[in-house]
Amino acid sequence: MVLEFEAESKGAAERKATQSGMNVNSVQDISDGDVDHAGVVGGGASKRKVTGMHPIMKLIILVAIVAIAWFVIWPMVKTRM
């Protein structure tokens, strides 16, 4: 019987099979030399591409804009009251 396992190396594939309760006779690399295997990707958050700005930076910019608006616009509103 032949089974395919998505793993980082031959040793990792052998450990996966052994931990699943299978007897391993041999391990072969079928990735055609590609280091990045195609197939099912794990659900780890570290694999997704990070785009955009950090949320803390967004908050700092928002607070700065609100502070500038407060110091510039509020005196004009206050004088008209």
CB 13 within 8 Å of CB 27 = yes
pLDDT at 58: 93
* pLDDT classification of 47: cutoffs 50, 70, 90: low
* 49 vs 56, residue with greater confidence: 56
Q: What integer is the mean pLDDT of 5-33?
A: 79
DSSP state of 21: T
Residue 22 counted as domain residue = yes
pTM recorded for the entire structure: 0.37
Question: CA-CA distance, 40 to 29, in Å (whole number)?
Answer: 17
Here the tokens at position 40 are: 């099912």
Q: What integer is the mean pLDDT of 12-39?
A: 74
Per-residue pLDDT of 14-25, as tens digits, reads 888 888 888 888
Residue 42 counted as domain residue = no
**Vertex 21, ends 15 and 23: CA angle to 5°?**
75
For 13, the domain range is: 1-32
Residue with tokens 């006779």: 25
Q: How many domains are there within the chain? A: 2
Residue 9 counted as domain residue = yes
